[in-house]
Structure 1
Amino acid sequence: MNIPFLDNWLRRHDDDREHGGGAAAKESDPERAAAITELLSECELLRVRAGQAGLVLDDSPGSLTALDQLPPRWRDDPEELPWLGNDAGLYLGTVIVRTVPGASWHIWPGGHPVVRLASGREVSVVEAGLEWAVNGAPELSQVYAEAAEA
């Protein structure tokens, strides 16, 4: 995923670059981490579609399980599918960052967001969301469970 405006924002607000220019939302700067999390947690299309199905996304692990149970009607719209998958990945990342101790967003050059766990392992949440939207697997709750165990 490429989010040029996010990359530009990070470049202006980042004074601690890592891994070839990637920017991390660090606990040492809680305001910055909160701003990145807030920005990436919007997931408007996913929230609207979930709401239409009667599901309120509350940024909890249980909501990931509920998303996994929804009928995949989004697959009927090939134009919307990648956007919904992207939102699903960002939502997965939001839940991980908000509930797994030590997890934080890390934005690679070009605006590619991943979640970095306390162990140092990175979870490519956007790719997981796209795979989930297209194929139904891996389930979002499964990716979350693996990240929570790491």
Structure 2
Amino acid sequence: MNIPFLGHRHPKTGKAVLPTDPEGVADLLSECELLRSQAEQAGVRLDDSPSSLEALDQVLPRWRDDEEILPWLGNDAGFYLGTVIVRTVPGAVWDLRPAGPVVLLASGREFDVVASGHEWAANGVPELSQLYAEVAES
């Protein structure tokens, strides 16, 4: 996954240089502008809480017919899910990797929130609130 705003290219190697400030990374990943816009249009306020994931699961998925918006919304849904996990599950942190960000849990388990966001955006299952509940239990 290429997320250009998360880093810059090293001038000699051309490889991505990812930021190391955990709070800065968390702030960038929490923006989710497209998802927040879609949610707002549906009357849902995203406040980075587990209950907002439940509300998102109830939104009519008008985006599924739009091939252009679907991948972006999937990314945003994954970033938002990760944001809620990192902000509410003790010990959960973002881990930026060349293939894309994952959430690391205190137990050592890794959670690919972006893949989960894409599944949710395309199919509605598993529900974001269900994924959060599974992660919060571990």
TM-score (norm 1): 0.83
The separation in 2 between residues aligned to 1:135 and 1:148, in whole angstroms, is 23
- The aligned residue for residue 137 of structure 1 is 125
- Equivalent residue letter for 1:3: I
- Specify the alignment match of 1:125 in structure 2: 113
Aligned length: 132
Please list the CA deviations of residues 38-77 of structure 1 after superposition, one character each: whole Å capped at 9, or x if unmatched: 0000000000010001111000000000000111111121
Query: Is 2:74 the counterpart of 1:85?
Result: yes
The residue that corresponds to 1:40 in the other structure is 29
Higher relative CO (Cα under 8 Å, sequence separation at least 6) belongs to 1
Q: Which amino acid aligns with 1:138?
A: P
Secondary structure of the residue that 1:54 maps to in structure 2?
coil
Q: Which letter does structure 1 place at the counterpart of 2:119?
A: E
**What corresponds to 2:53 in structure 1?**
64
> Partner amino acid for 2:17?
R
How far 1:6 moved relative to its partner?
Answer: 1.7
Structure 1 97/12 Cα, relative in aligned 2: closer, same or farther at 3 Å? closer
CA distance in 1, matches of 2:38, 2:25: 23
Shift of 1:34: 1.0
2:17: which partner in 1?
11
Q: Which residue of 2 aligns with 1:23?
A: none
Counterpart-to-counterpart distance in 2, 1:8 and 1:122: 25
SS of corresponding position for 1:108 = coil
**Could you state the TM-score of these two structures normalised by the residue count of structure 2?**
0.89
Alpha-carbon distance between aligned partners in 1 of 2:111 and 2:26, rounded to the nearest angstrom: 15
Selected match of 1:107 from 77, 96, 100? 96
Unaligned 5+ residue runs, structure 2? 10-15
- Tell me the CA shift for residue 8 of structure 1: 3.1
| Counterpart-to-counterpart distance in 1, 2:5 and 2:58 | 33
The answer for unaligned runs of 5 or more in structure 1 is 15-31
